[in-house]
Structure 1
Amino acid sequence: MATFKNFEDIEAWQRARILSKLIYEVSKKEPFSKDFGLKDQIRRSTGSVMDNIAEGFERGGAVEFIHFLTISKGSVGEAKSQLYRALDQNYINEENFNELYKLTDEVSKMIGGLIVYLNNSPHKGLKFKDRKNK
């Protein structure tokens, strides 16, 4: 796995951004747009996926990054559950559901892989780069 210079380099963040964009698109259409609670909740959860990847990366430490990745992964699970609610209320059709669910699953697996990689890496993060062990 390559070293990331920016959070935008992380493929999981890139895919999460696409997911968020697609959720905004489908939730703009009626009747979904009229269910303010579900619309806002699914938008927040998919936004949280990308935001927590970015925040964790910017903290500069592997342990903190892993912590934020686990929050991000939890938000993916939340979005998956909300997709079922949208499907059950006929806010999205089966095709939309399958496309969005597949993308959430892909993002979840990417985040999981990144967590495993970081857990096995000796790299502690940039904030520890110049510190001396005492």
Structure 2
Amino acid sequence: MAGNFEELHCWQACYNLKTYLKTNVLKKLPKIEKFELHAQILRAARSSTANIAEGWGRYHYKENINFLRFSRGSVAEIWDHCIEAKDCDYINLETLNAVRLQTEKCIQLINGYIRYLQQKNNEK
């Protein structure tokens, strides 16, 4: 088990995604999206890491898994919002593809951690 949530690969991947979004997506959105798409992407990105951290802090496998599922949902939400950003021509296809790769990696790592925790829970 990780000494802190920052050591979790799924948290690191979500943090990297959040950083990428701030630099490569949010800055490209027009001002009219400041309180709509911009806010939704930022909130989902923050939620992706925050839920992993909160779940890690619970110390109970089932609770941790629930928060990981919330995080996975936030990552999926990010992907959906970025598709919308591309459809509105706020971001290009290259940026969208980069987000796709990162969201897929985040989801794979979150799913792997969920499987690990489920196995540990079953061993109890």
Q: Return the TM-score normalized by structure 1.
A: 0.85
CA distance in 1, matches of 2:30, 2:108: 29
Residue 96 of structure 2 is matched in structure 1 by: 97
Structure 2: which amino acid aligns with 1:65?
Answer: N
Residue 87 of structure 2 is matched in structure 1 by: 88
CA distance in 2, matches of 1:58, 1:90: 40
Determine which structure has more spread, i.e. the larger CA radius of gyration: 1
Would you tell me which structure has more helix in proportion to its own residues? 2
CA distance in 1, matches of 2:42, 2:30: 11
Q: Is the partner of 1:4 in helix, strand or coil?
A: coil
Q: Which moved more, 1:4-13 or 1:113-122?
A: 113-122
Deviations 1:24-46 (A, max 9, x none): 112123xx141120011011101
Residue 128 of structure 1 is matched in structure 2 by: none
Per the TM alignment, residue 95 of structure 1 is displaced from its structure 2 partner at its CA by 0.4
Residue 21 of structure 1 is matched in structure 2 by: 19
Q: Return the TM-score normalized by structure 2.
A: 0.92
Q: Which runs of 4+ in 1 moved over 4 A?
A: none
Residue 54 of structure 1 is matched in structure 2 by: 53
Q: Where does 1:115-130 land on structure 2 (aligned, <5 Å)?
A: 115-122=114-121
Q: Identical aligned pairs, as a percentage?
A: 37
Per the TM alignment, residue 23 of structure 1 is displaced from its structure 2 partner at its CA by 0.9
Aligned residues: 120
Name the Cα RMSD after superposition. Answer: 1.2
CA distance in 2, matches of 1:72, 1:62: 15
Unaligned runs of 5+ in 2: none
Unaligned runs of 5+ in 1: 125-134
Structure 2: which amino acid aligns with 1:15?
Answer: A
